[in-house]
Amino acid sequence: MFLNVRDFEEVARTRLDPVYYDYVAGGARDEVTLRANEEGFQRLSLLPRVLRGREKRELDVSLFGSRASMPVLLSPTAFHRLVHPEGELATARAAAAAGAIMIVSMASTVAVEEVAAAARAAVPDRAPALWFQLYLQPDLEFTEALVRRATEAGCTALVVTVDSPVLGLSERNKRNGFTDLPEGLRCENLRELRGGEPGSVRQIVMSPELSWEHVDWLRRHTSLPILLKGVLHPEDARLALRHGVDGLLLSNHGGRQLDSVPSTVDLLPEMVDAVGGRIPVLLDGGVRRGTDVVKALALGAAAVGVGRPVVWGLAADGERGVRRVLELLREELDHTLALCGAGSLRDLTPDLVRRTPAGRG
Return residues touching ligand FNR (CB under 6 A).
Answer: 24, 37, 75-78, 105, 107, 133, 161, 229, 251, 253-254, 256, 284-287, 306-308, 311
* Residue 345 identity: L
What count of other Cβ atoms lies within 10 Å of the Cβ of residue 124? 7
CB of 171 to ligand FNR, least distance (A): 15
CB of 125 to ligand FNR, least distance (A): 29
Minimum Å gap between C-beta 49 and ligand FNR is 28
Across the strands, what pairs with 305?
A: 73, 284
Query: Distance between CA atoms of 207 and 226, rounded to whole angstroms?
Result: 19
* Nearest residue (beta carbon) to ligand FNR: 307
Nearer to ligand FNR by C-beta: 240 or 342?
Answer: 240
**Residue 357 C-beta: closest distance to ligand FNR, Å:** 25
CB nearer to ligand FNR: give 69 or 173.
173
Closest CB to ligand FNR among 93 and 253?
253
Q: Which is nearer to ligand FNR, 88 or 317 (CB)?
A: 88
Distance in Å, CB of 254 to ligand FNR, minimum: 3
Nearer to ligand FNR, 204 or 239 (CB): 204
Nearest distance in Å: CB 93, ligand FNR: 19
Q: 57 CB contacts (<8 Å, ≥6 apart)?
A: 334, 337, 338, 342, 343, 344
- Exposed, middle or buried by CB within 10 Å (0-12, 13-18, 19+), for 112? buried
| Catalytic residue annotation | 253
Evaluate whether 100 touches 70 at the Cβ level (below 8 Å): yes
- Shortest distance, position 101 Cβ to ligand FNR, whole Å: 13
Residue number with CB closer to ligand FNR (105 or 143) = 105
Name the residue nearer to ligand FNR (CB basis): 103 or 342: 103
- Sign for the CA dihedral angle at 293, 5, 16, 74 comes to negative
